Amino acid sequence: MERDRPVTRRAILAGAPALLGLSRKTDRATTGGFVNDSSPLGHRLRDRTPFTAPKRQVKIPIVIVGGGMAGLGAAWYLDKRGFHDFVLLEMESRTGGNSRWGENEISRFPWAAHYVPVPAKGESLARELFEEIGVLRDGKWDERVLCFAPQERLFIFGRWQEGIEPENATQRDTEQYRRFSDRMNEFRASGEFTIPMDRGAKTTPLDKLSMADWLAHEKFDSPTLRWYLNYACRDDYGALARDTSAWAGIHYFASREPEEKGPLTWPEGNGWIAQRLFERVRRYVSTNSAVYHIARDGSHLRVLTERAEYIADTAIFAAPTFLAEYLIEGAPRAEGFQYSPWLTANLTLDRIPRESGFDPAWDNVIYDSPALGYVNATHMNLATHAEKTVWTFYWSLAEYAPAEARRLLLAKDWGYWKEAILNDLEKAHPDIRQCVPHIDIMRIGHAMIRPAPGFIFSEQRSRWTRAYGNVFFANSDLSGFSIFEEAQYRGVTAAQKALRAIS
Amino acid sequence: MPVALFVSVFLIAACGLIYELIAGTLASYLLGDDVFQFSTIIGCYLFAMGIGSYLSRFLRRGLVTQFISIELMVGLIGGFSSSLLFVAFAYTEAFRLILYAIVILVGTLVGLEIPLLMRILKERFKFSELISQVLTFDYLGALGASLLFPILLVPKLGLVRSALVFGILNAAVAFWSTFLFREQLVRSHTLRAACFVTLGLLGAGTVFANRISSTADNALYADEVIFSRNTHYQHIVLTKWKDDLRLFLNTHLQFSSRDEYRYHEALVHPGLAALPGARRVLVMGGGDGLAIREILKYPSVESITQVELDPEMTRLFSTHPVLSQLNQHALTQPRVHVINDDAFQWLDKNSDFFDFIVADFPDPTNYSIGKLFTTTFYRLAAKHLSAGGLMVIQSTSPLFARQSYWCIVETVRQAGLRAYAYHVYVPSFGEWGYVIASQTPFQTPQQLPSNLRFLSARNVAEMFVFPNDMTPIPAEPNRLNDQILVRYYDREWKEIAR
């Protein structure tokens, strides 16, 4: 809906201090800070700082390291198959990993992963879980968790438009969008682009190309289509199209049924799924239990936390695979595993900002912004009217090399990022600074695996899908991209291997 | 010199008449019954002028100063009269009191003007000449004003600005007089300063008149806007022309008092009359209380729950004399419980059962309102229906928005309910549609309350028959995750607007 232009009187009031150079003072004070920083613990591991040796010893057949979706998925599977003799060790105070979430007086909100595309018929594991937690009943998805309309909008040419593909396209743009969609249908029909990827992936030279090179090769040169696909790579993999494997870039489009109306989402994002999983396996979970060392001891493993030492038959390593080098005695470096760092922020809005064009959507993207836009946490409320809300702002810092982006994340203070976020949003919402009393920012140094060209079908990737002694790896990074379904699949697969190993 | 003086007389007279006309027009807009309003206001005004003339004898010294002060007072009070009256109508229950107080005050001050002026001028002119000239220009001014008022002022400026503009003229005459009679003035500076202040206030009033009664609204609506307010949720506008009171929400017409009985009788009675012994009723939306007015015609109904998002709507229609008269004080009846909450959320957290549910929401013009027309909403509402209960849904026009209408019918069916479609002709809306939704078969009632203006048992059955240009056409159901209804509706009403 169109909102009014700025009120003259306010413009005068705001203009006068600007003349005197005092305009900053007219902005509201915004509070907030960095939250959920996990880098201090990570850096202790990297720097091999000594940890306090545990006094307690526990004998247990299976230890799961890491309580993200992969670890929770492994625990869910073990419990479901009637195996109860295991422990899940989580370094944070809560499980969830990339699906962690928060809550304030207005809404719950996600800190990272915030949706799952409607699982296709072949995704049996995901469907099994969704049936169990009541999202899928008699083949029908719960209408309250299928993302409400309107799903997406794009701020371009000074106003919001419906959908994320730019409108007002030239004939060339339109033709290329159609051709791109046709190409994706062909890839989909090939059956090689599946979820989980393990099911259909066949070695192909496509993986050696970058998405940008493939687009050039296929003569896709429409600027808006290029923007859109670059955006998709930044959003899904935290990397620019030129740093993303063409196979992975295509997989995003070719692995989903285009007519499915979704995705599945919740105010707290995938935190909702994580919470349901946690409720099912909480008796196995030990939080604030950072594993700092895993060593072989005869046919057993010694898994060390500061609280207890676990003497286990096997371990399911659901933490990011690059940590193996620091945690597992003798494990090599996970070569080729690159991780995109992310910055996410949750903005409290105590009033809804001005804007013009299409109605507010769930996912709101600003054209030509370095960031990825924001998701509205109250979008899935049944209420027809919201006076306050929470926006989750996503930024994958894809234009930097990962290590450089991580340095930047740590070097700049909260005020710097807060300003960068508000400046970005100001393009679409000129009065955003009057609406936001609070911004919390989370920095994730190794947020998601980056499917760089060549990685998906590399020997480095496939070697980690095999066990290292009695340790089975389970993180979604083994698939080359971080999505819920891959995490669940890797977790369950590792759990199956672990069960076989101890029987 | 004499010309200047008589121009002043002309202007004063014009101003005096304008305030009287404004008061009369406003009263007939807001209260109806123009003959009564105009008669009583003209009577009071002339009587007050008489009081003024009488009082003029008590003013003895400093006549010019007195005259200028009176001009400024007339300018201020008259200038702001219509703004004050609009605000009084919208926010107080003392509208008539304030109306007549203003009329008498302005009349008295205007009554003082001419006698004072004549006494000021009596030294300069022969009495016979003076009285002839002054009265000639007095009547000429009245003629000018009475022609200008309907032709130019009401249509172009609206009542608020017209009054303010004439207030400025009064103050200008005062200012001018400080020069005309400067030799008779002692403290002309003080008076001029007062003139400036008055002119400034009236000027600011004219600039900000938009905020008093939104002349921008006046351009948008055919009739005079008598109430305009941006609440947290919507823009409420009431317009009035003679006996036709209209409510607009975000510029969409909600009812016209001339034919709303057709809409509301058709909304309530086909369903509720088919439920003899219905005790508990839920009304969602429709905070105007007009549906409740109809429901209260059933003595069996023990309790009516009204869920309306906007507290300003229910406040306005509970407390305002004219509006609460229209709904026959429905919202303040002991059987009625008003809840200001979002209907979808309220249904979700509440577990009460109702024999009859009315979903009287605005048309699905956007994705927010569209949520209230979805399979999920109807499924949830159906959980609140008692065994054999019925729900009726306001469903836009099956003629102008045919696919939208049948989309709502399809949505009800997809929600697992039986759907019974019917329509009625409401002159201010055109052909309008409703859907009765139920879990059990529905049969049209054989008997209706006796005191209806429009419906009879015979024409209820006819409403369920659709002429050829409104018969069902294929439509997808409206679901939360695609809201196809909002698209249908947008497309269909755009075609009408073309």
Span B278-312, pLDDT tens digits:
999 999 998 999 999 999 999 999 999 999 999 99
Residue A48: its pLDDT value, please?
83
Write out pLDDT tens, residues B342-371: 999 999 999 999 999 999 999 999 999 999
**pLDDT tens, residue by residue, B92-107:** 778 889 999 999 999 9
Read off the pLDDT of residues B461-498 as tens digits, 9 standing for 90 and up.
999 999 999 999 999 999 999 999 999 999 998 887 65
Cβ separation B366–A1 shorter than 8 A: yes
Cross-strand partners of B433: B423
The residue among A118, A140, A125, A18 whose CA lies nearest residue A77 is: A125
Nearest to A374 by CA among A390, A397, A388: A390
Kindly list the residues from chain A whose CB atom is less than 8 angstroms away from the CB atom of residue B342. Answer: 382-385
For the packed helices B2-31 and B63-79, what is the interaxial angle rounded to 10 degrees? 30
Q: Are B118 and B135 within 8 A, CB to CB? A: no
Q: From the CA of A465, how many Å to the nearest CA of chain B?
A: 38
Residue appearing with tokens 């969704």? A130
User: What helix, strand, coil percent values describe chain A, rounded to 5?
Assistant: 35, 20, 40
> What is the DSSP annotation of B413-429?
HHTT-EEEEEEEEETTT
**Mind giving me the DSSP string for B392-411?**
EEE---TTTTHHHHHHHHHH
**Which of A481, A468, A483 is CA-nearest to residue A333?**
A468
What is the tally of helices (H) and strands (E) in chain A? Answer: 14, 21
> How many CB atoms are located within 10 Å of the residue A204 CB?
15
Cα–Cα–Cα angle for B275, B280, B285, rounded to 5 degrees: 100
The two tokens of residue A268 are 């707290």
* Catalytic site includes residue B360: yes
**B138, B288, B360, B363: the active-site residue:** B360
Q: How far is CA A43 from the centre of its chain?
A: 22
**A310: exposed, middle or buried (C-beta count within 10 Å: 0-12, 13-18, 19+)?**
buried
pLDDT in tens, chain A (503 residues): 333 333 333 433 343 433 333 444 456 789 999 998 877 888 888 888 888 999 999 999 999 999 999 999 999 999 999 999 999 999 999 999 999 999 999 999 999 999 999 998 888 999 999 999 999 999 899 999 999 999 999 999 999 999 998 887 789 999 999 999 999 999 999 999 999 999 999 999 999 999 999 999 999 999 999 999 999 999 999 999 999 999 999 999 999 887 668 899 999 999 999 999 999 999 999 999 999 999 999 999 999 999 999 999 999 999 999 999 999 999 999 999 999 999 999 999 999 998 888 999 999 999 989 999 999 999 999 999 888 999 999 999 999 999 999 999 999 999 999 999 999 999 999 999 999 999 999 999 999 999 999 999 999 999 999 999 999 999 999 999 999 999 999 999 999 999 999 98
Q: Is any Cβ of chain B less than 8 angstroms from the Cβ of A262? A: yes
How far is Cα A211 from Cα B369, in angstroms, rounded to an integer?
41
Bond prior to B150 in cis (omega within 30° of 0): no
Q: What is the pLDDT of residues A358-390, one digit of tens each?
A: 999 999 999 989 999 999 999 999 999 888 999
Nearest to A387 among B232, B343, B480 (CB): B232
Q: What is the pLDDT of residue A145?
A: 96
Query: E strands, A350-494, where?
Result: 363-366, 373-376, 389-395, 438-449, 471-473
**Residue B230: per-residue pLDDT:** 79
Hey, which residues does A365 pair with through a beta bridge? A154
Which DSSP string do the residues of B173-218 spell out, in sequence order? HHHHHHHHTGGG-S-HHHHHHHHHHHHHHHHHHHHTHHHHH-HHHH
Mutate to test the interface with A, among B367, B375, B411, B486 (most CBs of A within 10 A): B367
Q: Mean of the per-residue pLDDT values for chain B?
A: 90
* Six token digits for residue B82: 């219509």
Helix/strand/coil percent split, chain B, to 5: 60, 15, 25
A340 token code pair: 């995109």
More confident residue, B421 or A387: B421
Residues 6+ apart with CB under 8 A from A242: A210, A211, A212, A213
Q: Which residues contact B99 (CB under 8 A, 6 or more apart)?
A: B23, B26, B27, B41, B85, B88
Q: Is A144 in contact with B480 (Cβ distance < 8 A)?
A: yes
- Rounded to two decimals, what is the model's pTM? 0.79
Q: What is the pLDDT of residue A6?
A: 35
Contact A119, A130 (CB under 8 A): yes
* Whether A382 and B367 lie within 8 Å, measured CB to CB: no
Burial tier of A390 (Cβ tally within 10 Å: 0-12, 13-18, 19+) = buried
Higher-confidence residue of B224 and A155: namely A155
The pLDDT value recorded for residue B34 is 73
> Which one, of B423, B437, B355, lies nearest residue B391 by Cα?
B437
Contact A359 B483 (CB under 8 A): no
A312: amino acid identity, one letter: A
User: Which domains are present in chain A?
Assistant: 21-37+339-449 (3.90.660.20), 51-104+267-337+451-502 (3.50.50.60), 173-257 (1.10.405)
Least confident stretch, B227-241, B383-397, B404-418, B433-447: B227-241
CA distance A311 to A314: 9
First to last CA, chain A: 63
Query: Which pLDDT score is estimated for B32?
Result: 64
For chain B, which domains are there? 2-213 (1.20.1250), 218-253 (no CATH), 259-497 (3.40.50.150)
CA B212 from chain center: how many Å?
Answer: 14
Among partner residues A143, A151, A385, which is closest to B342 by beta-carbon distance?
A: A385
A360 CA: distance to closest CA in chain B (Å):
9
Average pLDDT of the segment spanning B229-252: 83
Quickly count: other Cβ atoms within 10 Å of residue A235's Cβ: 17
Which residues of chain B does A148 touch, with a Cβ-Cβ cutoff of 8 Å?
A: 367, 371, 480-481, 483
Residue A99's nearest CA partner among A465, A433, A490, A476 is A476
| Partners of residue B241 on adjacent β-strands | B244
Across the A:B interface, residue pairs with CB atoms under 8 Å apart total: 59
Shortest Cα–Cα distance, A352 to chain B (Å):
11
Looking at chain A from residue 180 to 199, which residues have their Cβ under 8 Å from any Cβ of chain B? Answer: none
Note the pLDDT of residue B497: 66
Over residues A27-57, the pLDDT tens digits come to 678 999 999 887 788 888 888 888 899 999 9
- Taking the C-alpha atoms of residue B371 and residue B374, their distance in angstroms, rounded to an integer, is 6
Cβ separation A359–B375 shorter than 8 A: no
The residue with greater pLDDT, B28 or B256, is: B256
CA distance B104 to chain A (A): 36
Nearest CB among A1, A143, A387 relative to B480 is that of A143
Contact A115, A269 (CB under 8 A): yes
Residue pLDDT, tens place only, A301-324: 999 999 999 999 999 999 999 999
Residues with Cβ within 8 Å of B123's Cβ and at least 6 positions away in sequence, in order, are none
- Strands (DSSP E) along A97-245, which ranges? 101-103, 108-110, 115-116, 136-137, 140-141, 152-156, 159-162
Instruction: With beta carbons less than 8 A apart as the criterion, state whether A304 and A26 touch.
Output: no
Which three-class secondary structure state does DSSP give residue A308? strand
